[in-house]
Structure 1
């Protein structure tokens, strides 16, 4: 039987069968290091490991006399070295420690003086071992080991490969191993990324290894429970979730969830019953808490489950202390559903009874949306107490989590929709607590954020949700990921390939979309001594907005670095927030001349009531320049294929009665009671026309399908991972499916179901699918789509048909694979991941979007050369246009 987690010892240990071990697990004290080697910003997902050119680190043995060519060290040679584990902790069933990797044979100062932070990023490999006691209790048995390796993205345990890893140290989804007693090799690939480890000199990487013996078969993880706070004895939200992990070697089905000792009434969410877990899989169980006993302070949960092949049910129980908040007007944690269906949370502070909000006639107060920085939990005191100095604001303060401490993906496809879901859940909070004071205006935000919460939070909101924003205060933020740490040090890549990669990031390049900010009041503030986010970023955005004809209020704080106590309220911030929340809580009318700038229609909402549905070509930013002449609007378009007017909101938006689009005149009748709208589309000969027929969505790319490869993260429900119908969990396809599921949960806390052997048909119109085979071979129902898709497998080749009808054949070869988006009905998507063999499948699967800044276009044909050549080894890559055609600005 093939199990990813069933491994043989690397080297047999000396028999200790007559000895009782003081610890069942031990990490090696000495670790062998090989490096450093060059690597670029977020390049690791593309492979780019030079040791793969000679068979990979796993096939090398320690030899302090051998050397390897490298562009970083003195004399151009990398050698073996050794380091010792530190901060080691040991107990009978657990071992953990920290391994620090650094290199003194590199002139880091010289490289940094030329290439900046890009030059001090590097990669290396570290080898140690995990020793499993061989005594009378363990002899002849397989020990179930739970392994966390933090701050790395790739590792080998003996001969088993694990990709994705845990770059951010979430420790959410471990690897479950079933190991024989003896010594097991750990080969860990480390990559120094400025955003993970900072720009210290000389650069160092510290990664953590924690191995423990599994405590059972089905394991609940109470410390990761997501649950609302108790405020004045009342739970402020009924939704909750708890991760559970299958540590067995067979499938487990969770049949029932109940409160312990009848003190709590809980219920599965309907879509999660029953819940199946593959061997080694971690999934969140979401449920509703329908009733708590008075004065209850502990949540007790009981799970009834059944192991595959058994007729007997088993039970486990767990508990979690409830967090108590003494009164309603303090920041408190409440739960709601993320758009993908998982339970998320935000911190909310309702309006104070001392707030004097006389200028807000409707008594519906705006939302102060405050976005946290990278690595910060919304519920940490540093985050939720940051507005204590302003206790009486005329607003609903909302601090969303973004689902994770890195907001899932830097407030992008996963994180920002979580912030919006949190805003929209405020009425749910009111209902839960019986709130009868001020209401909320969900369409009016003052948005602010610090660091990543500004650079990819507040700036992103300003450029993508402009019609909802009263004012904004981005604090100590950066322009974009490519501007933060440039991509200088990548393995050599054909310029057209690199263009595809960088173009995939266009929608997160706030500096390119700054025209959307014109018309919105902005206060920028930055510590003058910031050594984390260079102050250049704020200065540059201020200049760009000035060049667009729009000034920002700009302030540098002398003697301050990146973070200090009061960073969210110091300087001009208090008076700025009070003015736009108390005195002028209105969305200002746009100037008579403004622009709508769009890189991805899927994540860009209305501006001035204009919504772009499709771009003409996917590799260029679209733009509509608007000149308002009373009730007549004159529009000039660039790279726009389809757009419409959104229904106007009360008071703030006045739409035209006539519009002139590139000299084509249309009369309109848009009122506040309009239920439907017309689309404006351009024909192939450049003629604009108007239509109210929605059937174009059956033939064309629309809505949540737009964007780069990471658009697959915009799933409307759990992900379904489908194996080839001939396969089951005894195949390498299952191993890869488990890795994908683990990575989705690790990086996004996302839920995914692994479907094997046709055990269940995925629901079309539900969440997005991940197919480990071509759609034609996995029987996906697409009868409602009228699209002649341009990528197929024909005989012994992958065939790609370009927009001119030319066929490009890629003969199948070892290590080859492909990853691409595939359309399903109702804006649903499939992500197809396929390989000629296990290595090809793994190479394609590691391109699954997990970290921001990697830059994956809509399709990538991967080859064996990517293992050492990175993106330079890809055989083809590119984007689909609005007709799902291969756009001609492509590498084929």
Structure 2
């Protein structure tokens, strides 16, 4: 805790202290001394190759997530001391040799008593970057290294509490304690809480330069910002940030006010993100609004617990007497307990929510399936919308997905389609929860899209809308850059909901953004499994799903961010998939330009698809004699109601091709790697249906409206399913690779089963909040977490702490881990030597999952925790076993990895050493 003594300043520092914080007596007023500060002098070791792809979002972090730090061969950077004579080997430098160097940080004004910061710019001008790039392209401009500095805490102030934000950093060590996750994108959402004694504290930060975030320059420098805040309050409201500075507009996420000052909120959902900086748990037991102005209530049960050091969003509902701001700022008061103390924390909306015209783009809040509040920007159909004369028309949804690093609430996104006020559509700008859209608009980000669409009918009731209705099952999807990639994902994974699509400057897949090169060598048996875990991102393999959907493509000829090759390739592959697209490459245009979302060809396309009411999603293929459905195994994929439910071999795509013979009449279905699928009701009107040449038995009794499930029996025959128990147990939201854990339907339940695992539980909770905006509940009661309704679990265990389950083929003890493989007569046994680590999925009822994070000891647990899904592009399959060598070998340091099939058995093709 901070007492008044913290703000007592020393009038003089010794020369030694001045040197420790890197300042001379001339730098600071003698009467103004910082209580805490970073050092000015930093020791740097690097560069080393990163061995990953270039511009593909987040995937450059694959090496960092899997480890692959060459210094771990020497015990890690933390084990090395600065020496002008010391040399190490690096493939990036002349003579394959590097030495230590030093860099000075730019420190914040010491008169800022609320925070201290250090800005580092690190480069290596002696490296021949240009010649390297001439051969290897963009990936040559990426590198990694380490930097060491100090945090100085003034003598005489006692233990102080600091919130450390490590912007553009993924991992760091403070006083020998490892912190993985950091704040790679500078969100500022979930700081690391430190409790530091007076004196010097060593901090080592890992430097990883990535092109998408840091840019392509002749001298590829990396800019890092470290920031500390002294905490006077024990429970802090985390304020959102704009451009690295505090955004004091609001500590509360809430909807806009609709119509005029007396109008309602667009939605009653709101939230505030809290961080507990105390060293004991906080229990928020009550929430109150302004007296006689606003009423608030928790969404979910109270109390809301924040364990020591945890950051989490707290969801609530708010309703105010009109006008909402008539009595000044909106205030929300939180009451909480710390031990026997009862305390309060007030959060203010320093500026009132904007008042938006009924037809203007407006912020709409809603509940994400993960149990926290998210938002989108919604523009209803205007009075000028060309929706025809039918008073009962239901307009489709126009989804406009933003690019990387953008907030949907910023003018650049919010007003991107202002030139098209006449569209007969509900225009929706979703966020994907974060400016980087969670996970590239995939599992987590697309769940946000679906929740935003589902919130439109609630908005209609909330504001008393009397205009056109909404058809939540008909979408026109568009997006730019990463949003353009999101268009390809939506097209290939949800084709039955899409009436048309416009992909603008989007990359074809994260694997193809730039070529893979400079990877650290690994056994091809391992790399193919890591690659196949990303199959849902390989849109090039899934283009047969888009047949008969109108597609518009646009790309700037001079785009040096997403090369136009991506769109040109997809144009070719769409043609080869017997589909069509209308491609426009804009001469001389870069990646972004004013009006990129409203070019004349694009406006014509949008109006032609929407202002006639838009094409209706067909319940059966119009004039199609044949069509194909392709699935990468991430959930279900349907085309014209023909729905692939389960694949035989995970990690491989599955296909169904249906062909109609009008002479018989019959439908012939051929399949590849499909175990079960659903046939639509209109199929059942056909008297003959065959699968791989086998005629199905007579169609079961049905109402002619519902679909029927067909599955492959263990004897190889194809049968209609009579009950759900006919199908293997791994279904629905359990499908996919390890990132299926992101399909939670409630706050993540994080269970640590020993005090030694608490630090990792807190780290995982912080990372989920930082990178996904996710809510988590941390507990040491496994049974309580397992019973949580709808939620997925993350179980943190060391040795024998972990409860066994009969469904999992992985068993363990203090000294070893066993994997029971149906294709091997003997179990695969891995001893606990060298800090054994493992992560794997286990099934729970109701399509829920339990992600086990296990270590034979504390060091092994820290290794395993790196592999919890954090960012896209890292490629974790269903299970991974590794040891300490993974920290410097990366993927090659794994001992076993692979998939579980739909019976929760180890699948064929998994890798074991």
TM-score normalized by the length of structure 1: 0.92
| Residues 870 and 397 of structure 1, relative CA distance in 2, 3 Å threshold | same
Instruction: Determine if contact 1:67/1:77 at 8 Å carries over to the other structure.
Output: yes
| 1:222–1:318 Cα contact (<8 Å) kept | no
Alignment partner of 2:637: what SS? coil
- Do residues 424 (structure 1) and 451 (structure 2) align? no
Give the one of 616, 626, 640 matched to 1:593: 626
Structure 1 residue 357: Cα displacement: 1.4
State the match for 1:840 in structure 2.
860
Q: For residues 78 and 696 of structure 1, do their structure 2 counterparts lie closer, same or farther at Cα, with a shift above 3 Å needed?
A: farther
Residues 212/794 of structure 1: CA separation in 2 closer, same or farther (3 Å cut): closer
Q: Distance in 1 between matches of 2:587 and 2:132?
A: 30
- For 1:609, the equivalent position in structure 2 comes to 641
User: What is the deviation of 1:215?
Assistant: 2.7
> Mind listing any 5+ residue stretches in structure 2 that lack a counterpart?
1-13, 19-29, 53-59, 241-250
- Among residues 775, 789, 800, which one is paired with 1:751 in the alignment? 775
Asked if 2 retains the 8 angstrom alpha-carbon contact of 1:480 and 1:511, the reply is yes
Which residue of the partner structure matches residue 338 of structure 1?
A: 368
Q: CA deviation at 1:104?
A: 1.5
Instruction: Give 1:228-247 correspondences, 5 Å limit.
Output: 228-231=255-258, 232-233=260-261, 234-247=264-277
Structure-1 residue corresponding to 2:654: 622
2:47 aligned residue: 36
CA drift of 1:794 comes to 4.5
- Counterpart mapping for 1:665-684 below 5 A: 665-666=695-696, 677-684=707-714
Aligned to 1:531: 560
Who is 2:436 aligned against?
406
Task: Quote the offset at 1:761 in angstroms.
Answer: 4.7
Moved more, 229-238 or 583-592: 583-592
> 2 CA distance for matches of 1:170 and 1:380?
15
In structure 2, the CA distance between the partners of 1:435 and 1:165, relative to structure 1 (3 Å rule), is same
Question: For the residues of structure 1 that align with 2:801 and 2:39, how far apart are their CA atoms?
Answer: 46
Aligned residue number for residue 470 of structure 2: 440
Which residue of 278, 291, 294 maps to 1:261?
291
- Residue 65 of structure 1 deviates from its aligned partner by 2.0
The answer to whether the 8 Å contact 1:260/1:301 transfers is yes
Instruction: Choose from 846, 852, 855 the match for 1:826.
Output: 846
Secondary structure of the equivalent of 2:137? helix
What is the Cα deviation at residue 788 of structure 1? 4.4
Which segment drifts farther, 257-266 or 87-96? Answer: 87-96
Paired with 1:672 and 1:343, the residues of 2 have a C-alpha distance of: 40
Q: Which residue of 2 aligns with 1:99?
A: 120
Q: Which residue of 1 aligns with 2:880?
A: 860
Confirm or deny that 1:307 pairs with 2:338.
yes
Correspondence 1:133 to 2:133: no
Q: 1:693 aligns with which of 718, 723, 731?
A: 723
- C-alpha distance 548-657 of structure 1, shift in aligned 2 (>3 A): same
Secondary structure of 1:262's aligned partner: coil
Alignment of 1:736-885 (within 5 A): 736-756=760-780, 760-773=784-797, 777-779=801-803, 788-794=807-813, 796-806=815-825, 807-885=827-905
Q: Partners of 2:706 and 2:788 in 1: how far apart?
A: 25
How far is the alpha carbon of 1:370 from its aligned partner?
0.6
Counterpart-to-counterpart distance in 1, 2:92 and 2:239? 45
Aligned with residue 130 of structure 2, among 109, 123, 126? 109
Q: Are residues 669 and 801 of structure 1, via their aligned partners in 2, closer, same or farther at CA, if it must alter by over 3 Å?
A: closer
Distance 1:24 1:209, change over 3 A: same
CA contact under 8 A between 1:194 and 1:485: conserved in structure 2? no
- Where 2:561 maps in the other structure, the secondary structure is coil
**Structure 1: distance between partners of 2:554 and 2:109:** 43
Query: Distance in 2 between the 1:350 and 1:658 partners?
Result: 46
Distance 1:97 1:355, change over 3 A: same
Who is 1:27 aligned against?
Answer: 38
C-alpha distance after superposition, 1:716-743 (max 9, x if no partner):
111111111xx3xxx3300000000000
1:160-211 C-alpha deviation (Å, 9 max, x unpaired): 1100111111110000001012222121101112222222222221111111
- For residues 332 and 687 of structure 2, the distance between their equivalents in structure 1, rounded to whole angstroms, comes to 59
Give the SS at the match of 2:186: coil
Distance 1:298 1:669 in 2: 64
1:21 to partner: Cα distance = 5.0
Which of 385, 396, 404 in structure 2 is aligned with 1:374? 404
Does residue 1:384 correspond to 2:414, yes or no? yes
1:689-728 equivalent positions in 2, closer than 5 A? 689-696=719-726, 700-724=729-753, 727=754
Counterpart contact for 2:167–2:225, Cα < 8 Å: yes
- 5 Å matches for 1:126-525? 126-135=147-156, 138=157, 141-223=158-240, 225-231=252-258, 232-233=260-261, 234-271=264-301, 273-296=302-325, 298-308=329-339, 310=340, 312-320=341-349, 321-358=351-388, 362-455=392-485, 457-525=486-554
- TM-score, with normalisation over the residues of structure 2? 0.90
Question: Given that residues 360 and 585 in structure 1 are in contact (C-alpha distance below 8 angstroms), is that contact kept between their aligned partners in structure 2?
Answer: no
How far did 1:299 drift? Answer: 2.1
Rate the CA distance shift 1:643–1:376 in 2: closer, same or farther, 3 A: same
Q: Secondary structure of the equivalent of 1:501?
A: helix
2:668 alignment counterpart = 634
CA contact (8 A) 1:13 1:182 kept: no
Q: State the alpha-carbon separation in 1 of the partners of residues 15 and 80 from structure 2.
A: 21
> What secondary structure is seen at the aligned counterpart in 2 of 1:577?
helix
Greater shift, 837-846 or 96-105, is seen at: 96-105
Query: Any unmatched runs of 5+ in structure 1?
Result: 1-11
